[in-house]
Amino acid sequence: MHNTDPAAAAPVAEPIIRVEGLAKEYRVFDKPEGLAASVRALFHRTSRVVQAVKGVDLTVGRGEFVALLGPNGAGKTTLLKLLSGIITPTRGTATVLGHVPWERADDFRRRFALVMGQRNQLWWDLPAAESFRLHQEIYRIDPARFEKTRDELVDLLGVRKLILQPVRELSLGERMKLELVAALLHEPEVLFLDEPTIGLDVVAQHTIHEFLRDVQRRRWMTVVLTTHYMKDVAALCERVVVITRGDILYDGSLAEIVDRFTTHKIVTLDFDEAPDRSVIARFGFPCEFRGPQVVLRIDRSRIADVLPGILGSAGVRDVSVEDVPLEEIVAELFRSDARAAAVAEASR
């Protein structure tokens, strides 16, 4: 049966997370250096207000996989804490699955999960299977369904034989995998991940990517992830939200971020032998020589014009044209924002 209605073919996702003007301010006390100053601080403490999140608007639809990117201290984790109800905002509103998260209703808490890469939820001295059993009770998971879900999840991650071993004996990567299983046992509709792959090796990262992608698609789960690894983003997220200094700097597709924030492409030429530098320099693009290989950064608008000429140079054996790596784009984005902030600060 064919449906010709274009709206039905690409249904607008039901909004699961709605955030409006959400702001969180902290009062932090300055801890002065030195003993004398510390004694003075006992009587008079100086404090200042830190705006961790300043008036964020965000809507996330069901089944979206969103990456929150930003430098350290940008407010990513604060935003996740607000959305999972650990903290209350200074201003603004948010609903997740129709609930105000910081009211912490049990009905809400049964429907989401938060995994923090640097924090344990599993019982340290017991096998993970015991923590799972506790989750079965506190989330009231039907026993048959619990076993099925658990087996499915541990098999997907290949950790079945680890669940009977005390957690403290496991490696960081193994523990993280079991943390993810524990968090997904109650089949949450919304999953918040705070740097889930931090400190993991490439193989473990890859396994976790595959796993998350698979489970997210199968369950049509809404996932919001913070990370510093662009591999996570490239592997998992279609939508990227860049946060700097508590503000959303960019919210859009991963493809668009590349489009919008890069002016050039990376062209790599392989020669039979190290080429004459002056010949390459003649093209007038920034270039880098690596023996028989040359890497050029060429304006995207000019690539079609200049590439034939370059390829015509004697001795070119192979060529590749690539986008600027995501790491570089994001780093540049953070840097330019920091510069803009400095300029704004100076002009005040």
Partner 1 sequence: MSGSLEAVRPAGPLQGLRTWWTMLKICLEERLVYRGDFALGTLMRFLPIVTQVFLWTAVFGATSRGDIAGYTRNDIVAYYLLTMLTRAFSSMPGLAGGIARSVRDGSVKKFLIQPVDYVSFLLAARVAHKLVYYAVAAIPFALVFFLCRSYFPPVPDATTIAAFLLSLALSFLLGFFMEVTLGMLGFWFMEVSSIVFGYMLVQYLLSGHMFPIDLLKGTPTGIAGVSLADVVHWLPFEYTAYFSSAVWLGKVKGAQLVSSLAIEAGWVVVMAVACRVAWWRGTRRYSAFGG
Residues that bind partner 1 (CB under 8 A): 26-27, 78, 81, 84-88, 102, 104, 106, 109-111, 113-114, 119-121, 123, 125-126, 130-131, 133-134, 136-142, 145, 186-189, 219-221
Whole-number Å distance between alpha carbons of 189 and 109? 11
Contact indicator for 295, 320 with CB cutoff of 8 Å? no
- Rounded least distance, CB 7 to partner 1, Å: 23
- Rounded least distance, CB 34 to partner 1, Å: 20
Residues 6+ apart with CB under 8 A from 251: 58, 239, 240, 241, 242
- Rounded least distance, CB 15 to partner 1, Å: 15
CA distances, 2 to each of 6, 7, 11, 75, 272 (Å): 11, 13, 15, 45, 55
The closest alpha carbon to 212, from 196, 199, 228, belongs to: 196
Residue whose CB is less far from partner 1, 215 or 280: 215
Residue whose CB is less far from partner 1, 70 or 275: 70
Contact indicator for 266, 286 with CB cutoff of 8 Å? no
What is the phi/psi pair of residue 308, to 5°?
A: -55, -40
Residue whose CB is less far from partner 1, 78 or 207: 78
- Rounded least distance, CB 143 to partner 1, Å: 9
Residue whose CB is less far from partner 1, 218 or 317: 218
Residue whose CB is less far from partner 1, 138 or 338: 138
What is the phi/psi pair of residue 242, to 5°?
A: -100, 125
- Residue 26 has, within 13 A of its CA and on its CB side, a CA count of 11
Residue whose CB is less far from partner 1, 130 or 327: 130
Tokens of residue 123, six digits: 């019982």
Q: β-strand 112-116 against 190-194: which pairing, if any?
A: parallel
Residue whose CB is less far from partner 1, 85 or 246: 85
Residues 6+ apart with CB under 8 A from 348: none
- Rounded least distance, CB 294 to partner 1, Å: 51
- Residue 220 has, within 13 A of its CA and on its CB side, a CA count of 6
Contact indicator for 121, 91 with CB cutoff of 8 Å? no
Residue whose CB is less far from partner 1, 39 or 340: 39
- Rounded least distance, CB 102 to partner 1, Å: 6
Q: Is 62 helix (H, G, I), strand (E, B) or coil?
A: coil
- Rounded least distance, CB 118 to partner 1, Å: 10
- Rounded least distance, CB 114 to partner 1, Å: 5
Amino acid at 92: G
